[in-house]
Amino acid sequence: MKRFAVPIAMLLATTACTTTQRVADGSDLASSAAPIAPILTSAQAIDEESWAEPQKARVTHVALDLDLDFARQRVAGTATLDVMAKPGVSEIVLDDRGLQISSITDGAGRMLEWSVGAAAEGEKGAPLTIGLDGARKVQISYAASKADALQWLDPEQTAGGQHPFLFSQGQAILNRTWIPTQDSPGIRQTWEARITAPKPLDVVMSGVRQGKPEDLGNGRRAFRFVMDKPVPPYLIAIAAGDIDFAATGPRTGVWAEPSVLPRAAAEVGDTEQLVEAAESLFGEYRWGRYDMIVLPPSFPYGGMENPVMTFLTPTFIAGDRSNNGLVAHELAHSWSGNLVTYASWRDGWLNEGVTSYIENRISEEVYGKARAEQEYALSYAALEAMVAQQGATNPVTAMRTPAGTSPFDTDGEAIYDKGTVFLRTVENIIGRQRFDAWLTQWFDNHAFQPATSAMFLADLREKLVRGDRQLEQRLLLDQWVYGTGLPANALKPDAQAFAAVDAAVTAYAANRSLPTAAAWRAWTAAEQRRFLEELPEALSASDLAALDKRLGVSASGNNEVRFLWLEAALRNRYQPAVPQAEEFLARVGRNKFVSPLFQALWNTGEWGQPIARRIYAGTRGGYHAYTRGKVDAIVS
Ligand code: BES
Ligand code: ZN
């Protein structure tokens, strides 16, 4: 049988493969029109978190046909995979964590042999090995209940209170709990889905919805989706609930529960502008529409960059768009992360650090230099604090996770904030115009492909450094990417960015003199955050009472501000904050807020530990598996 136009070895390797190569025999691949993304073979591209052996056989396309069963909290149906295999290779290995597989065929009814190996410790799951016996399609009939990627919410956990809700969170390695595929960021796959759900629920996915939902006549509807661009499988996402849509521009809009939609739409009213700004900086937005969904509060992250459908926490809604750096961030992933993706989890900074840098640049375009400088100063301060706390030689402070450390143990600051400071530093040395041109071509030339730190640095050296030894010495590229701590050439934030706030911080530290209520109200959200982040560690009950009375922080409409207040209050055993924390922790499931508050309580010892236990007993059931896992490690 004739198979490939180009030797399979070329399709599977990095060097010779371009996105324009096509499979000759269309029967081998259902979506033969889709570009086949290369598999990187370098040591840096090895993903220890996946069982897949993509050099031998790999998935190129996933077709899901699944029923959402809210009563049993499970999905069930089939996943049909298109497979590309080296000649002579007789099996393909997928990732599986807890799937209930009933049978596997070649898609035409012929049974294939399969087995599930021993599960690794932690979240990696087990290898699912399928005998191909010449097949280039495998159809897996399965169900997934108790999938950690899926959170099934009871009606009471939604704003409307009438209907259940479902959302998924695939990143990092959770999609293997509901989709049997090669769950590795370097193995890009196109996908399509047919999903059925009970009326009146609407379903959205991180792919383009096809036509109107089909009424199945049994109280259910079927929704179809297509993602025709190869994506890393952690980006396959789904949400279903009683949700409506509001446009925010010709190609942007937001979904949310009806009672949340007006506030959500107002908060993300700048989205069209953000997309335009991003395009003006780093080239065309290549995904068609940019829509968002504001989820119920148990969503464990601030946001998740699911293609064409960013997922957002409702806790970013402040009424004044002050937290929509979050939208800029998830949008920025449309370039860094979704278009060009790290091949292994060790290169977290390639997605998140580059995105934080772009987020800041978008902020500057849309909101002006002053706001962007303040956000940069907050990043820089967070990075400095993290390095001071962890120690400058601690491996958790490295941008590329060193061998011997779990890529999921790296401090967020080492990836997000160090990444921002790194790229601002390079931009400053190279010059903005040249750097922007370089970054734009990096995205263009690696569009829909995986990348590594080594590739990023090699391209920078080839195109910008070009053998200039002095320039090389000034940049300290390897130290930034592979080293620990904060390199000496780091671009310091503008000392003026927070001049007024920092004076107020100093005054407060000296004699507890507070800014006036009017001055506080006039501050930006970033300024208010700066003030609260720089408060003295130890504060007395009367200090805290006076601070809250003057500034009204415990009733702030901005959850970032309210969180910083609660953290300061709890670490100082401030009893009046306990009911406030209880209310907040019952209402908010975003781990960035939840874990630190439990930690603050826990750290106080015998005062806070019983309080933490009591509050957690009431809130644990409402948290997402991710948040629960983090808090379980604190509260015992
Ligand atoms: N992709 C991340 C969320 C993520 C990272 C999920 C790693 C799982 C593993 C998302 O883009 C993100 O960074 N969210 C931040 C937003 C913030 C930096 C503006 C968050 O949720 O706090
Ligand atoms: Zn991100």
| CB crowding 120-137: b at 16 or more within 10 Å, else e | eeebbbbbbbbbbeebbb
What pLDDT does 411 receive? 87
- Span from the CA of 247 to the centroid of ligand 2 (angstroms): 24
Instruction: Using the atom order of ligand 1, give the atom closest to the CA of residue 305.
Output: 11
pLDDT attached to residue 459: 98
Cross-strand partners of 68: 75
Distance linking the first and last C-alpha atoms of the chain: 60
Ligand 2 centroid to Cα of residue 546, in Å, is 37
**CA 351 to ligand 1: nearest atom:** 1
- Of the ligands numbered here, which is closest to the C-alpha atom of 123? 1
Decide: 301 in ligand 1 pocket, CB within 6 A: yes
User: Which residue is closest in CA terms to ligand 1's atom 1?
Assistant: 304
Q: What contacts 485, CB < 8 A, 6 or more positions away?
A: 387, 392, 393, 397
The C-alpha torsion from 445 through 449 and 453 to 455, rounded to 10°, is -40
- Contact 30 CB / ligand 1 (< 6 Å): no
Which amino acid would we find at residue 318? A
Beta-sheet pairing, 189-198 with 57-69: parallel
Query: Would you state the pLDDT for residue 33?
Result: 56
| Cα–Cα distance measured from residue 394 to residue 183, given in angstroms and rounded to the nearest whole number | 30
Residues forming beta bridges with residue 501, ordered by sequence position = none
Nearest alpha-carbon partner for 190 in 23, 12, 56, 29: 29
pTM of the entire predicted model: 0.95
Distance, CA of 224 to CA of 206 (rounded, Å):
12
- Ligand 1 neighbourhood includes 302 CB (under 6 angstroms): yes
- Radius of gyration of the chain from Cα atoms? 25
- How far is it, in rounded angstroms, from Cα 252 to Cα 248? 5
In single-letter form, the type of residue at position 567 comes to E
Ligand nearest 379 Cα, by number? Answer: 1
| SS3 category, 61 | strand
Candidates 225, 210, 277; CA nearest to 249 is: 277
Per-residue model confidence (pLDDT) at position 265: 98
Q: Residue 349: which of 281, 423, 406 has the closest Cα?
A: 423
- 10 Å CB burial of residue 8 (0-12, 13-18, 19+) is middle
Residues annotated as part of the active site: 330, 416
The reported pLDDT for the residue numbered 238 is: 99
User: Is 305 annotated for ligand binding?
Assistant: yes
Query: 23 C-alpha to center of ligand 1: Å?
Result: 35
* Spatial CA neighbour of 276 closest among 316, 324, 331, 321: 331
pLDDT digits (tens, 9 = 90+) for 76-90: 999 999 999 999 999
Query: Position 590: which residue type?
Result: R
Our CA dihedral for 326, 365, 376, 319, rounded to 10 degrees, sits at: -40
Q: Which atom of ligand 1 is nearest to the CA of 301?
A: 21
pLDDT at 4: 35
Burial-class residue 384 by CB neighbours within 10 Å (0-12, 13-18, 19+): middle
Which residue positions in the chain have pLDDT lower than 70?
1-34
What spacing in Å lies between the alpha carbon of 248 and ligand 2's midpoint? 22
Nearest to 413 by CA among 389, 393, 429, 448: 389
- Domains annotated on the chain, with CATH: 3-242 (2.60.40.1730), 539-632 (1.25.40.320)
| Residue 446 assigned ligand-binding role | no
d(CA 556, CA 468): 52
Contact partners, residue 67, CB within 8 Å, separation at least 6: 75, 76, 77, 195, 196, 220
Please work out, in degrees rounded to the nearest 5, the angle formed at the alpha carbon of residue 447 by the alpha carbons of 445 and 448: 145
Q: Residue 36's pLDDT is what?
A: 87
